[in-house]
Amino acid sequence: MTAIIGISATQLAEQVPNTISRNGTYVGGDYITAVANSGAAPFVIPVTDTKLITTFVNQIDGLILSGGQDVSPALYGAESEAELGDVSLVRDAFELALLKETLAQKKPVLAICRGAQLLNIAFGGTLHQDTSYIENADLEHMQQAEATQSTHAISIEHGSRLSNILGTTAQVNSFHHQAIDVLGSGLKITARASDGVIEAIEKQGSPFVVGVQWHPELIIETEIGMKRVFQEFTKNAELGAMKQVYNAPAKFKKIATLR
C-alpha cells in the first residue's frame, strides 16, 4: 500500500512581478522529491479553512510540517522581541490545528525546522525568538553556505528513535534563528548542537512523532542518513495505513486497498 503523506504548505505573500501569481500556495520541491523517493505519495495541504482539517487528515497517512516563517510568540503567551522575523498568524493557527488533529488520529508526524518549533508549542513549550538570546549559542545556525551543505554536527541521544536511524552523531545544515526553549509536556530532547541548541525532539510513547531543527530534505544526496529519516517515517505511515485497512469494516476495505 502506498502511503499518502501530507505536506503543510506556505503562502505566497506578495505578487510576483509581471505574473498573475498572488496568494499562492507552495512547498519546496525537495520535500516532494524526498517523499516520492521514499515510496510515498506527496499531498500538499494548503493554508485554508480550518473546517477542512479533519477531511485532510482523514485522507493522509502521515504529516510533514514544513519550514517557513517564524512562529508567532502569541502562541505561547509571549511578547514579540526585537529579533523576531516575519510571522503568519493565519498559517500558525491552521498548522497548529492540523498538527493536533493528526496527533489525535495517531498518525506519524515529521516536523521540520519551523515545524519542530510548532510541535513543541503544541505541547505547551516555548521558543527563543533568536539564538542570540541563548547563552553560549555561538554556532552559525543561519548558515551562509549552500543549502545542500552540512555545516555543523549534532549529538543524538542513544536509544532514541532518531539514533536508531542516524546513530549518535550526524552532520546537518542549519537555517533557523528561533530555537526551542522550554520543552513541551511529554516531549523529549533527543539531539543538540555543540553549543547546546536543541536540534531534535520526540514524543514519547507514540507513533513516529519527531521534530528536527535542520532541513533533511535538502541534504539527502550528501548525507545518506537523511534518506533513512524519510524512509522510516513513510514506513511508519504505511504500517498505520495497513492497520486502518485491517480494522476497517468490510465494505470499506475494498475501497482502501485500491490505493
Instruction: State pTM to two decimals.
Output: 0.92
Q: Can you give the pLDDT at residue 134? A: 87
User: Among all residues, which ones are annotated catalytic?
Assistant: 113, 215, 217
Which set of grid coordinates corresponds to residue 163? 539514533
Which set of grid coordinates corresponds to residue 94? 491552521
Q: Which residues of the chain have pLDDT under 70?
A: 13-17, 20-22, 245-259
Residue 238's Cβ-count burial label (10 Å; 0-12, 13-18, 19+) is: buried
C-alpha span between 214 and 188 (Å, rounded): 17
**Structural domains of the chain sorted by starting position, each given as residue range(s) with its CATH number in brackets:** 4-257 (3.40.50.880)
Tell the residue number behind the cell numbers 486502518, with chain if given: 244
C-alpha span between 47 and 98 (Å, rounded): 10
Q: What is the pLDDT of residues 191-215, one digit of tens each?
A: 999 999 999 999 988 789 999 999 9
C-alpha span between 91 and 69 (Å, rounded): 9
Q: Cα-flanking dihedrals φ and ψ of residue 142, to 5°?
A: -110, 85
Q: Report which of 63, 194, 200, 74 is spatially closest to residue 126, judged by C-alpha positions.
A: 74
- 219 residue type, one letter: I
Q: Can you give the pLDDT at residue 229? A: 98
Alpha helices, H only, the chain:
29-37, 53-59, 89-104, 114-122, 161-166, 224-247, 250-256
Q: Can you give the pLDDT at residue 81? A: 87
DSSP state letters, 121-166: HHTT--EESSGGGSTT--S-SB--S-TTS--EEEEE-TTSHHHHHH
Q: Can you give the pLDDT at residue 126? A: 97
